[in-house]
Amino acid sequence: MLRALNWLVDQAADAFEPGMTEGTKYAAFNLMTLTMMTGTSLMPDLRGHVLIIEEVSEYLYAFDRAMFHLCSNVAEQQLAGIKLGNISDIPENDRPFGESSETIAKRWCGQSGIPYLGRAVIGHDVENRIVPFGLLGTM
């Protein structure tokens, strides 16, 4: 919480996700939440954005299906790319899924023509960083 307050009060640049650069558009979402908005009037315009996604407490097969749905539906929006935040508290399935969350993200990004841009420091944990939506100005 202190990190968020430092950003709100002092615009502290060290509160930001460390991979962000000035002049780039960003958006960060929980994967399942964004997937449920896909195809509705609630879906934001993500053209030109780096989309950072995170997830908590989802099976890897559900993460896989959500990544397929998301990537299939935003490919035409010409994203600058997708970064993967923290994927945490993954429940154990009765049989192993066979891929990690990062392998899944890379696969669906590749098949959809969306650049996979690596990892980000966002998620449901104490290391969570700030991602202002839209064009990032001077930090």
DSSP letters along 73-123, please?
Answer: HHGGG--SEEEEEEEE-PPPPSS--SS-HHHHHHHHHHHHTPPEEEE-S-S
Number of domains in the chain: 1
Distance CA 123, CA 129 (A): 8
Average pLDDT, the chain: 92
Q: What is the CATH number of the domain that holds 85?
A: 3.50.30.60
| pLDDT value of position 32 | 98
7: part of which helix (H) or strand (E)? helix 2-10
Residue 117 lies in a domain: yes
Residue ranges in the chain whose pLDDT is less than 70: 1, 138-139
| pLDDT value of position 7 | 74
| pLDDT value of position 2 | 74
Per the structure, the complete domain to which residue 30 belongs is given by 24-135
| pLDDT value of position 139 | 53
